[in-house]
């Protein structure tokens, strides 16, 4: 039996195809170019008439599931029967095109369309009016989704009131707020915890399907969904249990623990690497059909055994899986040089960066040399020419302007540390107080990119700021603690802080947290710091990576005058104007 349901995924509406673990059905799904969604646990195609009919022709016994949170799919027609009524529904999904600015539009309210909700946002289509658009975006919780050409509005009562008052178009949104949850009584109103038999470091969580509750649980570090248990699996530590009780208290839901006495232990806490690797093997194996999992599994075993980082494992295996899919999962032993070159050419034709193409080459070289034990890889793979790109760098004044836009002490400090010590986003949120050596003015960065520790400077100017901050935000372990006990701040929050500060500063440059790292290295180079010392501070293995910052002219070179500037005195005003 096949079930299909409409849902919102990857910035568009999709048709989800749900079935069990039948290999035959998986092959049919791949045959119509359906993609697998790990988040929604289904195969999916873009929501349109052609794909709807394609699903009906491909699968038998199709049942349409109407989701109360989405517009329902039409009932499936018989194979070969023309479906007419779906065309009107599909056309309604297309984003409204902006209309010309008019001072008076008597039918303006009728053109505002509520398109449902996605996660914690309502979607609203509003005809374009310059002044109105500006006022909408000034409301906290409202932002413009460029791809959907629609406004995304945070599902909060204050946002609802302000938007509806501004548009003066009557009630627009249902009273279903992101922070609210109905009080459920009886057995469905319980959060139950059970032991996880395959691994006692974890516990099984079964809870009501309340959107806010589910979204919060999914955000916890190490949280994952177990298909076999039809429940979430969480780390069995006292801090996670306390966080769960706090969350349940806010929603007025009871927590029932079926865990044995002493099951929750602090010693069961997973380190960062173990948390990242947990579930990665299964996720990467799901990218390929069962018949091809032998190749991927062999590669995974070697990468794990050789202690590659989580990001390297994910990148290598994903690149290898895509290559295998392109060649219809043909045995790697039988691949020819022509097949490899064709795959690389296809990726370049599709506009992929040289870095992503080189990732495929490195993954293949690893497989042939390490997994298949071919010391000399017979197939000579042409590496694409590297594109020399100059990184975006901010001036010292621009950096100072960005920092001035941030009032929250916690948010300002994480940006100051990112610039002052040249840290990556993951390194900022991974800082612990034991890594801050105040007396030595040093910071120890633990297990960063490439599984390497390194020591960086602790700026003198930030010491007093750090001490005051610790009094405001006391924490035992993390410098930048997250919302829940025992968890660090997310990297997404760091980037969001930077993005908002750049917008407020009104900078024309596209600057991210990593731009602060580029600026740190460039400003050191301008001040005459030896490039090999900069290499150590940044944690670069190869000096060539650091050499990219030599595009900045040293101070001595700024004294060089262009010959055109010398000529200006010899030219008349008319010539110079030309």
Confidence grade of residue 336 (pLDDT, cut at 50, 70, 90)? confident
Q: Which residues of 91-112 are buried (b: 16+ CB within 10 A; e: fewer)?
A: eeeeeeeeeeeeeeeeebeeeb
**Please, are residues 520 and 494 in contact by the beta-carbon 8 Å criterion?**
no
Measured at the alpha carbon of residue 283, what is the angle toward residues 480 and 237, in degrees to the nearest 5?
45
4 within 8 A of 17, measured Cβ to Cβ: yes
Burial letters 6-17, b for 16+ CB under 10 A, else e: bbbbeeebbbbb
pLDDT at residue number 2: 85
Structure tokens at 468: 């005051």
Position 190 pLDDT exceeds 70: yes
From residue 493, give the alpha-carbon distance in Å to each of 39, 426, 500: 21, 11, 11
Q: What is the Cβ-side half-sphere exposure of residue 394, based on CA atoms within 13 angstroms?
A: 24
One-character DSSP codes across 448-512: ETTTEEEEEE--GGGHHHHHHHHHHS--SSBSSB-SSTT-BPPHHHHHHHHHHHHHHHT-SS---
The radius of gyration of the chain from alpha carbons, rounded to an integer in Å, stands at 28
428, two tokens: 């900022």
Q: Which range (41-55, 172-186, 225-239) has the least confidence?
A: 172-186
The residue whose two tokens read 């599709």 is 350
52 compared with 94, residue with greater pLDDT: 52
Whether 432 has a pLDDT exceeding 60, the answer reads yes
Predicted confidence at residue 565, as pLDDT, reads: 62
- According to DSSP, residue 385 is labeled P
Q: Which of 86-90, 224-228, 406-410, 571-575 has the lowest mean pLDDT?
A: 86-90
What band does 571 get if pLDDT is binned at 50, 70 and 90? low
Does residue 182 have a pLDDT over 70? no
Q: Pick the residue with more confidence: 436 or 482? A: 436
Measure the N-to-C terminal CA separation of the chain; round to a whole number of Å.
Answer: 76
Q: pTM to 2 decimals?
A: 0.52
Per residue in 265-320, pLDDT tens? 988 877 666 666 766 777 788 888 888 888 889 899 899 888 887 788 888 999 89
Q: What would the mean pLDDT of 104-129 be, rounded to a whole number?
A: 79
Structure tokens at 328: 């219809």
Contact predicate 39/23, CB 8 Å: no
Are residues 325 and 293 in contact, defined by beta-carbon separation less than 8 angstroms?
no
Alpha-carbon separation of residue 532 from 391, 521, 541 (angstroms):
19, 11, 11
Average pLDDT on 89-93 reads 37
pLDDT beyond 80 at 577 = no
3-state secondary structure of 443: strand
d(CA 524, CA 537) in angstroms, rounded, equals 11
- 520 pLDDT exceeds 80? yes
What does the pLDDT average to over 247-270?
85
pLDDT exceeds 60 at position 84: no
Report whether pLDDT(576) > 60.
Answer: no
> Average pLDDT for residues 408-412, to the nearest whole number?
86
Q: What is the pLDDT of residue 105?
A: 63
Query: What is the distance between the alpha carbons of residues 72 and 275, in angstroms, rounded to a whole number?
Result: 38
Q: What pLDDT does 545 receive?
A: 74
Strand pairing of 113-118 and 42-46?
Answer: unpaired
Residue 498 to residue 495: CA distance in whole angstroms: 5
pLDDT at 92 over 80: no
Q: What is the predicted pLDDT for the residue at 204?
A: 92
Per-residue pLDDT tens over the stretch 211-247? 677 877 877 777 888 877 788 888 888 888 988 888 8
Q: What is the pLDDT of residue 485?
A: 66
Q: Which of 182, 544, 232 has the alpha carbon at shortest distance from 386?
A: 544
pLDDT at 165 over 70: yes
Give the pLDDT band of residue 406 (cuts 50, 70, 90): confident
- CA-to-CA distance for 449 and 287, rounded, in angstroms? 25
Chain centre distance of CA 206: 26
Residue 90: pLDDT band (50, 70, 90) is very low
- Round the average pLDDT of the chain to a whole number and report it: 77
The two beta strands, 202-206 and 35-37, are unpaired
If you count DSSP H runs as helices and E runs as strands, how many of each does the chain have, helices first?
Answer: 23, 17
Question: Could you tell me the two tokens for 216?
Answer: 């919060």
Residue 166 is encoded by which pair of tokens?
Answer: 């501004």
CB of 430 closer than 8 Å to CB of 529: no
Note whether 360 and 368 are within 8 A (CB).
Answer: no
Q: What is the mean pLDDT of residues 398-420?
A: 88
The answer to whether 510 and 392 are in contact (CB under 8 A) is: yes
How many whole angstroms separate alpha carbon 134 and alpha carbon 112? 16
Cα separation, 427 vs 445, whole angstroms: 7
pLDDT band for position 259 (cuts 50, 70, 90): very high
Instruction: Report d(CA 424, CA 494) in Å as an integer.
Output: 10
* Sheet strands side by side (includes 231-235): 224-226, 231-235, 202-206, 190-195, 254-257
The whole-angstrom separation of Cα 220 and Cα 399 is 33
- Which residues carry out catalysis? 424, 449, 514, 517, 540, 549
């Amino acid at each position: 039996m096949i079930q299909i349901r409409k849902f919102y995924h990857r910035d568009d509406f999709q048709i989800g195809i749900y079935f069990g673990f039948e290999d035959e059905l998986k092959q049919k799904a791949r045959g119509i170019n359906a993609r697998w969604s790990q988040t929604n646990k289904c195969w999916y195609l873009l929501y349109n008439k052609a794909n709807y009919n394609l699903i009906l022709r491909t699968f038998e016994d199709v049942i349409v599931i109407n989701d109360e949170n989405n517009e329902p799919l039409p009932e499936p027609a018989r194979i070969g029967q023309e479906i007419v009524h779906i065309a009107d529904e599909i056309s309604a999904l297309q984003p409204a095109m902006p209309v010309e600015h008019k001072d008076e539009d008597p039918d303006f309210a009728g053109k505002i369309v509520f398109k449902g909700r996605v996660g914690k946002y309502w979607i609203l289509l509003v005809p374009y009016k310059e002044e109105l658009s500006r006022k909408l975006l000034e409301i906290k919780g409202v932002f413009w989704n460029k791809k959907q050409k629609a406004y995304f509005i945070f599902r909060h009562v204050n946002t609802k009131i302000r938007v509806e008052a501004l548009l003066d178009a009557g009630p627009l949104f249902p009273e279903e707020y992101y922070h609210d949850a109905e009080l459920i009584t009886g057995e469905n109103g319980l959060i139950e915890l059970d032991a996880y038999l395959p691994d006692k470091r974890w516990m099984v969580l079964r809870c009501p399907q309340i959107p806010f509750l589910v979204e919060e649980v999914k955000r916890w570090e190490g949280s994952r969904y177990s298909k076999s248990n039809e429940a979430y699996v969480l780390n069995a530590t006292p801090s996670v249990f306390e966080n769960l009780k706090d969350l349940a208290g806010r929603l007025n839901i009871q927590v029932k623990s079926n865990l044995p006495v002493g099951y929750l232990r602090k010693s069961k806490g997973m380190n960062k690497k173990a948390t990242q690797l947990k579930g990665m093997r299964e996720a990467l194996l799901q990218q390929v059909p069962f018949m091809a999992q032998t190749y991927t599994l062999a590669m995974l075993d070697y990468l794990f055994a050789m202690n590659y980082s989580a990001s390297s494992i994910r990148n290598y295996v994903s690149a290898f899986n895509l290559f295998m899919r392109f060649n219809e999962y043909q045995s790697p032993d039988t691949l020819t040089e022509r097949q490899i070159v064709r795959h690389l050419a296809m990726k370049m034709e599709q506009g992929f960066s040289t870095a992503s193409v080189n990732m495929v080459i490195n993954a293949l070289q690893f497989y042939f040399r390490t997994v298949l034990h071919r010391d000399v890889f017979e197939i000579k793979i042409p590496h694409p020419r590297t594109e020399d790109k100059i990184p975006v760098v901010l001036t010292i004044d621009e950096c100072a302007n960005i920092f001035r836009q941030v009032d929250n002490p916690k948010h300002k400090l994480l940006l100051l540390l990112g610039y002052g010590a040249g840290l990556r986003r993951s390194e900022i949120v991974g800082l612990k107080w034991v890594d801050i050596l105040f007396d030595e003015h040093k910071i120890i960065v633990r297990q960063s990119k490439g599984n390497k520790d390194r020591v960086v400077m602790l700026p003198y100017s930030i010491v007093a700021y750090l001490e005051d901050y610790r009094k405001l935000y006391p924490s035992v372990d993390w410098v930048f603690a997250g919302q829940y006990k025992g968890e660090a701040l997310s990297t997404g929050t760091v980037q969001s802080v930077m993005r908002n500060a750049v917008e407020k500063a009104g900078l024309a440059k596209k600057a991210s947290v990593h731009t602060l790292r580029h600026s740190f290295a460039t400003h050191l180079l301008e001040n005459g710091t030896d490039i090999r010392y900069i290499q150590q501070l940044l944690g670069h293995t190869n000096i060539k990576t650091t050499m990219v910052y030599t595009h900045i002219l040293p101070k001595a070179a700024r004294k060089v005058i262009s010959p055109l500037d010398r000529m200006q005195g010899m030219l008349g005003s008319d010539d110079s104007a030309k």
